[in-house]
Amino acid sequence: MGSILAFPAAVLAYFARMGWVRSIALFVGGGFAFVLLYSMVGNAWTYFDSPPAPQAAEEFHKEHKHLALKSDGPFGKFDKAQLQRGLQVYTEVCSACHSLKLVSFRDLKDLGYNEAEIKAYAGSGKQWKIEVPSINPETGEATTRKALPSDNFPGPFPNETAARAANNNALPPDLSLITKSREGGAAYVYSLLTGYQNQPAELLKKFPDAKTPANLHYNPYFANLNLAMPPPLSTDGQVTYADGTKASVDQMAKDVSAFLVWTAEPNLERRHAAGFWVTIFLLFASVLAYLAYRQVWHDAKRQVVVTGALDPTNQAKTRKAKAKAGVAG
């Protein structure tokens, strides 16, 4: 009986020595740690005992294809001829569904167009056919007008509801920053445009319930394999390039991907140039700093000033005081 009561008494004595506040805090912390450990062990046991079922999207999803553009790398520069071809592909194919609302028509001067060409492109209606929403100053009613160089690219739909109604309730994303907002950037866009195919028989055999639903299209480069957008680039020669380049599906996909890199980062060349000169400056400044060190500080000897109890003057005073007081040592 005494041994049974000894343990609680020892615990109480321990708590009393530590203080009751600290003891309660220790007890509560230990309780939390136990609950967390129990939860972790329980979840791990459940995972290994009943692992999640494999999914088609995890097994058949593909990483983006390799795409080499002249704008890649720290010294990359845009190929203006390719950007102009990409603009043509966007104008004749992509603009029917996708907006480019963060890009202005006058920004096209960076692609090599002059003011007259930009004005003709935006307002003639022969190249850019979508008009800009406006208000009739006489009646106050909503209307549209021809685009001006100062306007941003108008979207093909007046609002999200209209966009979804025209695309089986799917909302086509704005393409202004698409190469920045998607992992893989331009390579993702290129892979998506050239990746449409029929569902593999192996997928349907292993995952019979993963058949592509109606109004969707199989594309292994899309996250869940099924994409609402039908293949926008379906045949060679879908556009006719002014520079005579053969407009194959692969070439058109590369060109529009390069164009969307420019829309996402039009200052890329200036940023690369600035980074190059900043690097040169830092290297030059580092060399100057090292030479200054060699000239001024390399031969300087470190001098240690003894202070406090180790100061010889203080030690002499200490000895004199001890001798006067008759203290040995």
CA angle 128–130–131, rounded 5-degree value: 110
In the chain, where are the structural domains located? Answer: 2-52, 59-103+152-270
Return the beta strands (E) in 2-141 as ranges: 132-135
Hey, how many other C-beta atoms are within 10 angstroms of the C-beta on 212? 16
Instruction: Give the pLDDT confidence score for residue 311 in this predicted structure.
Output: 77
Residues 172, 163: contact at Cβ < 8 Å? yes
Task: Please give the Cα distance from 193 to 258 (Å, whole number).
Answer: 13
Structure tokens given for 170: 């799917």
Q: Which CATH code is given to the segment(s) 59-103+152-270?
A: 1.10.760.10
CB count within 10 Å of CB 261 equals 25
Pairing label, strands 142-145, 217-218: unpaired
pLDDT tens across the length of the chain (329 residues) = 555 556 666 666 665 665 656 667 777 778 888 888 888 888 887 767 776 677 888 889 999 999 999 999 888 999 999 999 999 999 999 999 999 999 999 999 999 999 999 999 998 777 888 888 888 877 878 888 899 999 999 999 999 999 999 998 999 999 999 999 999 999 999 999 999 999 999 999 998 888 999 989 999 999 999 999 999 999 999 999 989 999 999 999 999 999 999 999 999 999 988 988 999 999 999 999 988 888 877 776 666 666 677 677 888 888 888 888 777 66
Q: What pLDDT is attached to residue 19?
A: 62
* Phi, psi torsion values for 145, nearest 5 degrees: -145, 165
Tell me the per-residue pLDDT of 205-245, one tens digit each, with 9 for 90 and over: 998 888 999 989 999 999 999 999 999 999 999 999 989 99
Residues 127, 242: Cα–Cα separation, whole Å: 13
Compute the CA torsion angle 240, 243, 248, 251 (nearest 10 deg). Answer: -130
**Residue type at 25 in one-letter notation:** A
Instruction: Answer for the pair 218, 198: CB distance below 8 angstroms, yes or no.
Output: yes
Write out the two tokens for 235. 């045949």
Distance (Å, rounded) from C-alpha 87 to C-alpha 260? 9
Instruction: Give the pLDDT score at 114.
Output: 93
Q: What's the Cα-to-Cα distance from 55 to each of 109, 183, 204, 205, 320, rounded to whole Å?
A: 48, 21, 12, 13, 90
Position 301 scores a pLDDT of 65
Q: What is the DSSP string of 75-90?
A: T----HHHHHHHHHHH
